[in-house]
Amino acid sequence: FPGTLWYVYEYTGKEEWKERAERATALLESEQFNAFDHDVGFKMYCSYGNGWRLTKNPAYARIICRSAKTLGSRYSYKTGLIMSWEEDDARDWQFPVIIDNMMNLELLMEAYKLSGDTTLRHIALSHADKTMKCQYRKNYSCPHVVDYDAETGEVRKFDWNNGSDDVSVSTWARGQAWAIYGYTMMARETGSPEYLAQAKHIARFLMNHPNMPADKVPYWDFDAPNIPNAPRDASAAAIMASALIELSQLDKSDEAKSYLDFAEQQVRSLSSPEYLAEKGTNCNFVLKHSTGHLPGNSEVDVPLSYADYYYVEALMRLKKLI
């Protein structure tokens, strides 16, 4: 939500929105020390990262760097990865890593640029490289969770927490969106052709998936057993659209326009009455019909704050291309 406010300030230039963004961002200050949550990158980059980008407030830069150090404390040199959750005997997990973690790497790369701390860059690249090597099927889909041996770093098993429990095929839509966004972002930050190629592979897989609906807003899992009656996930469409817009600008091949065209279709669908809430409804969120955690029967067909954030980000990225 603070990040959404920063985007509204960027769009309007009005001081009142800056003040609102500053107040909301300040509520997260203590999270710079929260080493027990792998989502510190989401929390601190979307808020303080956008605040720093727009204001160059030196206090924001310091908090970004401290947050990255905290995130880095979850990294293991034995596995080459950032741990998502703690070891869990009930799930038989030693070192679980979820695809969502690709989104946390932007915080590390920003902190590296601000501080010159090469350890942060090393952690980001190591995590991206190991994930690319170990978390992907041949068709460039991925399960939600991979559990690694904590001592050797070898893959123990593919697993699920979100997505369907058939880990051989489960293709959790938002997880695929986190992945294409993460590798596109890493391609931007490093100039790596390998990361760019990975993002393009994922884009092709998603854009050409036979279960992608006509309006380009995915079902919560591309392999959900009850398609076409499965819930949609507007958040996955918003994240994917934002990533594809950026990918269209990084890729210099003939495919670039197809990414932009697909993203525009997604944004137009999300901007239609089917998904865009009327003012004063939907608990005052922007988008309808997101799915948070269907296997836990949690946040099914509801608004979600991060759906709104990436939708607004996609709009801002499109606006800059006009």
Known catalytic residue at 149: no
Catalytic residue among 37, 39, 129, 215: 39
Report residue 260 as tokens: 């932009």
Strand partners, 172: 221
The secondary structure of residue 229, as a DSSP letter, is: S
CA 181 to CA 310: how far, in whole Å?
A: 10
Cβ pair 244, 180 in contact under 8 A: yes
Pairing of strands 75-76, 81-82: antiparallel
Identify which of 41, 32, 39, 3 has the alpha carbon closest to the alpha carbon of residue 20. 3
CA 196 to CA 184: how far, in whole Å?
A: 6
CA 59 to CA 69: how far, in whole Å?
A: 16
Q: Is 96 helix (H, G, I), strand (E, B) or coil?
A: strand
Q: Is 268 helix (H, G, I), strand (E, B) or coil?
A: helix
Whole-angstrom CA distances from 190 to 38, 59, 107, 195, 296 are 22, 26, 14, 9, 37
Report residue 102 as tokens: 């690709």
The three-point CA angle 141-166-221 to 5° equals 55
Question: How does 211-226 read in b/e, with b if 16+ C-beta sit within 10 Å?
Answer: ebeebbbbbbbbbbee
Catalytic residue among 100, 159, 221, 223: 100
Identify which of 39, 29, 16 has the alpha carbon closest to the alpha carbon of residue 64. 29
Whole-angstrom CA distances from 248 to 50, 230, 317 are 22, 30, 11
Known catalytic residue at 100: yes
Catalogue the active-site residues. 39, 100
